[in-house]
Amino acid sequence: MSGRPLDVLEASLDEPVTVSLKDGTAFFGVLAGYDQHMNVVLEDAADAPTLDDALGDLDVESVEDTTIIRGDNVVAIKA
């Protein structure tokens, strides 16, 4: 699971991830897609985010529908 950033995203497809954004929010969902700009597509995860999904002190919101996040908002993606 080591490797270049986009390799990690490729390996995380169909897995739950937490995406923290520059505005201080964070989204939790299944990684359904991505591109080279780190634009990502999240889909509803069957399970709710757990404490382990937290990124520092951020509250994490579960996505409920297919959601595209533009890559230039992303701070970190926890795979």
Residue 71 in the binding site for a second copy (CB under 8 A): yes
CA distance 72 to 65: 21
Least Å from the CB of residue 2 to a second copy = 4
- Per-residue mark of binding to a second copy, 1-30 (x: CB under 8 A): xxxxxxxxx----x------xxx-x-x---
**Whose CA is closest to 17, among 7, 30, 5, 4?**
30
CA distance 70 to 41: 9
- How many residues of this chain interact with a second copy, rule: CB under 8 A? 45
38 to 57, contacts with a second copy by CB under 8 A? 38-41, 43, 52, 55-56
